Structure 1
Amino acid sequence: MNRQQSSEQIRNRIIDEAARLIVAYGYDGIAMREIAEAAGLSKAGLYHHFRDKEDLLIAVLTNWADEMAALAAAAESEPTTRAQLTALVRGLFAQAPAQRALVRLSNQDMPRLSEPARVSVERCYANGLIAPITAMIRAGIERGELRPVDPHLATWLLLGMLYPFFHTEQAKIGENGEAIADLIVTTFFDGLAQ
């Protein structure tokens, strides 16, 4: 086995450490030097893989969007919209708190980013979470499982219910995650009426 790590392995380690540190300290609260140290690299080694902190944030969020897309693809194998959204929301709550918190932090950091970086981050968020949920809801409407509503608006309503749990403090809910996920989905589909 090769003792040298591949460039891809190093890049992934940097992304993981950057995600952890950005969640813990915020985008503005962490320096590239600290990310390099956490990844076991020099600053020059870090800059070999990422042009600047924006480039690294985009890589962190692109990685997150890819994970969300995989979670959504797995959920789409469920037979009904309710089962799909249950699988997706449970999958979100099964993630490490730092992964869930990235959603909220990416929104908080948007004003600090350049226009091209904002576009990239918005695309990650849209492709990773908004588009898959909207597609599930739209398909449910087309199959007659859901009443005809604006699928995009329904997506934002569901995300609004999820959003508080993307906060770093609320993200540390541990073993109650599945129960909270189920309550959110039940409330979304059935409301709270007796």
Structure 2
Amino acid sequence: MPRGRSATYDDQREFILAQAAQLFARRGYPATSMNQVAEACNLSKATLYHYYKDKSSLLISIAETHVSRLAALVVEEEASAHTDEERLRRFIYRIVEEYAGAQDAHRVLTDDVRFLEEEDRERVLNQEREVVAGFARAVSALRPGAPSDDLAKPLTMLLFGMINWMFTWMKPGGRLDHASIAPIVADLFLGGIGAVKSPPAIRRPGGRSVKESG
């Protein structure tokens, strides 16, 4: 009889994906070898191939896992009973929260999907389009003329422009973390710069939080 998978098989796959995502994000997908992934995971190359058949399968899994979580977020929020504004704010909060815990995977999704074979790339991009379409519906619901608003998609892409590139400038341990930046993004997008409020607490280097004065 064939030997079944161990109880830790899925955990090991997730660990490998996390290590590979970190390497791809820092070195770039083309410059990262399976040997380097195996070394980062403290595995032999033969053991690594037991979990993933090649480097492309790693890239596919990283991209699909990340974008599937975003797509699931959209489905959950669209099924909620929140008001239109609450729904869009929750979209923003939740996607920022998701990015906070998956910065390497997000960078890989942003930079490296182009290296996939066409069929795999289109599958990932189609899921991305579903995420964008869900956000566009939430944006459109707050504007006159919904649901045929021809600015919903451009406005949504502007919103993603704020969110998607946070990882290029937000520093770990900085004054603002993802939890405090999410409402700033929502206020700016929904109300303009005059609607933005300082967060009730800011982070000092070293991770200590202090109350804003005034």
Query: What's the TM-score, normalizing by structure 1?
Result: 0.76
Q: For 2:11 and 2:160, how far apart are their aligned partners in 1?
A: 33
**CA shift digits 1:16-57 (9 cap, x unpaired):** 222222223322332211212333322122222223212111
Determine which structure has the larger helix proportion and give its number: 1
Residue 132 of structure 1 corresponds to: 134
Report the structure number with the largest CA radius of gyration. 2
Amino acid at match of 1:162: I
> Do the aligned residues in 2 keep the contact of 1:32 with 1:43 (CA within 8 Å)?
yes
Residue 116 of structure 2 corresponds to: 113
Bigger relative CO (Cα 8 Å, ≥ 6 apart): 1
Structure 2 residue runs without a partner (length 5+): 1-5, 196-214
Q: Flag as ranges the 4+ runs of structure 1 deviating above 6 A.
A: none
Matched, 1:177 2:178: yes
Amino acid at match of 1:84: R
Identity value in percent: 26
Compare 52-61 and 27-36 and name the one that shifted more.
Answer: 27-36
**CA shift digits 1:131-150 (9 cap, x unpaired):** 33134334x2xxxx322333
> Do the aligned residues in 1 keep the contact of 2:67 with 2:124 (CA within 8 Å)?
no
Q: For 1:124 and 1:171, how far apart are their aligned partners in 2?
A: 29
Residue 44 of structure 1 corresponds to: 46
**CA shift digits 1:146-186 (9 cap, x unpaired):** 2233332232121112122143x436457532332112112
For residues 1-16 of structure 1, the aligned pairs below 5 Å read 4-16=6-18
Structure 1 residue runs without a partner (length 5+): none
Q: For 2:136 and 2:162, how far apart are their aligned partners in 1?
A: 15
Q: For 1:171 and 1:23, how far apart are their aligned partners in 2?
A: 16
Deviation at 1:59, TM superposition (A): 0.2
Residue 33 of structure 1 corresponds to: 35
TM-align CA RMSD: 2.9
Q: For 1:43 and 1:8, how far apart are their aligned partners in 2?
A: 18
**CA shift digits 1:91-131 (9 cap, x unpaired):** 2333464613533432322443332332233234334x323
Query: What's the TM-score, normalizing by structure 2?
Result: 0.70
Residue 18 of structure 1 corresponds to: 20
Q: 1:12 to 1:193 in 2, by over 3 A?
A: closer
Matched, 1:54 2:56: yes
Q: For 2:156 and 2:97, how far apart are their aligned partners in 1?
A: 20
